[in-house]
Chains A and B, each alone.
Chain A
Amino acid sequence: MTDAKYHAPEQGSLAGRVFRPASLDELREAIELAFDYRGDVTVELKSGGQVTGYLFNRTATGEQPTIELFPATGSGTMTIPFSEVAAIAFTGEDTATGKSWEAWVAKKDSERQREVDRVEAEAKARGHL
């Protein structure tokens, strides 16, 4: 259980946006947004490849600033230097959007019930109920 109930007003989600920074400052900014984002991002690498995963940490200081991801497939973490990032796309569903307490209260009873049933069914399917 948690004490952190998200009460902030709903804001536009970054889902679907792509950032192709032209400077280090822009890159830093895009990385901060990705760090706060509650969904997967796809990092396009200067070497040509790309990695999709959850960006959970960034170290912006030091000689070689890095980002850290949990790749969406496979286990373990992946560390990528800032210098290798060509673009960041917000490709995964934003799991925070529309989930504030206010948004819940504002829903119609029927919508709320549907959501409760869906969550319950998912938890049952996983054996968590």
Chain B
Amino acid sequence: MAVPVSQMYTVTKYVLTQKLRGVKRYPLVLMLEPLFRCNLACAGCGKIQYPDHVLDKRLTPEQCWAAADECGAPIISIPGGEPLIHPEMPEIVRGLVARQKYVYLCTNAILLERKLDEYQASKFLTFSVHMDGLKDEHDLAVCRDGVYDVAVKAIKAALKRGHRVTTNTTLFDDANPERVRKFFDEMMALGVEGMMISPGYSYQKAPDQQHFLKRSRTTELFSKILSNRKRGWQFNQSPLFLEFLMGRREYQCTPWGNPTYNVFGWQRPCYLLQEGYASSFRELMEKTAWDSYGTGRNEKCADCMVHCGYEASAVEDTFGSLSGFAKTVKITLLPNAR
């Protein structure tokens, strides 16, 4: 099992409670971005493209805790920038863990081994290490040689100290399915708890025909990677989301499932698109034109199949219909079943 039972129980209870209360839109994962500064400069990274004085801004621990309280999501993912650069990150994590939030601290792992002493192993804390493939692919993706080896060493060190560790992989349509499968083998052999995968986001103003091709190329790629899955592979995400990536299920985006809070405020509508910011979570939920986003609704969303928009849709499907629930159980037990 890729996720501890206590975490599954918490999430299930949370989703069912929202449903019983008749809440139509509820957050599942808070994307908390405490800074945009990074120690890498991956080509095309949209998160680090700001003037220095903006990159130097950081959320305080109090702001992070207030966002978590206001939002109420049971899971908090902390991307960035590189969160381990933030001098108060251990304090931020301690406060979130004290609130019994399941924290996924996303890192490129360059600083991880050096910082491990500052974090206490807990079922509530997972280091989510960004790995974009085997050594060649990863070092190319992050535009620096040697980062893959550093990350592997850090993963081993974190596991040795009893930390939960997952990997987090973004694939673009030029990925080689065989190499990706080999990469999964390597990550599982390291002993990580599970892997997270998502197609990358590449918004480009293009005619609809191209969008369609892009989406079908994505499903083709993920079908090649995920068909005939090896028994040992564990994915730390909804089984139905993987089905969606393979083109076996259709979902509409539910961007409110993964709200983003950063130094600018609450980002509308999602982690990827910046259409403006709300000053409170309530304002975000109440005053965002949610129906304007998602496939077929917005040109900017046409190609998107990213986890922050569609994973929550898959979770909603699991708990929203008997067929979705039955399918989830079936795929959990038999990953290659159709």
A→B interface (CB under 8 Å): 1-9, 35, 38-40, 53-54, 56-59, 68, 70, 72-73, 92-93, 95-96, 99-101, 103-105, 112, 115-116, 119-120, 123, 126, 128-129
Contact = CB atoms under 8 A, between A and B. Distances in A.
A5 B51 contact: no
Contact of A54 (B38, B46, B51, B276): B51
A5 B204 contact: no
A29 to B, nearest CB: 16
A5 B50 contact: no
Given A3-B201, A5-B44, A5-B45, A129 B54 contact: no
A59 B265 CA distance: 13
B40 A70 contact: no
B143 A1 contact: no
B195 interface: no
B223 interface: no
Interface string B199-239: 01111110000000000000000000000000000000000
A7 B204 contact: yes
Interface string B30-71: 000000011111111111011101100100000000000000
B110 A57 contact: no
B170 interface: yes
B316 interface: no
B47 A2 contact: yes
A105 to B, nearest CB: 8
A62 B170 CA distance: 39
Interface in B104-163: 106-108, 110-111, 130, 143-144
26 contacts: A1-B108, A1-B168, A3-B271, A4-B200, A5-B43, A5-B46, A5-B202, A6-B44, A6-B49, A38-B50, A54-B51, A54-B53, A54-B54, A56-B277, A57-B277, A70-B57, A92-B51, A93-B51, A95-B50, A99-B44, A99-B49, A104-B43, A116-B144, A123-B40, A126-B37, A128-B111
Contact of A5 (B54, B168, B201, B271): B201
Nearest to A3: B170
A103 B42 CA distance: 12
A1 B106 contact: yes
Interface stretch (B7-15, B79-87, B290-298, B320-328): B79-87
A79 to B, nearest CB: 11
A72 B276 contact: no
B92 interface: no
Contacts of B307: 3
A2 B38 CA distance: 11
A100 to B, nearest CB: 5
A56 B276 CA distance: 8
Nearest to B110: A129
A4 B277 contact: no
B265 A6 contact: no
Nearest to A100: B44
A57 B44 contact: no
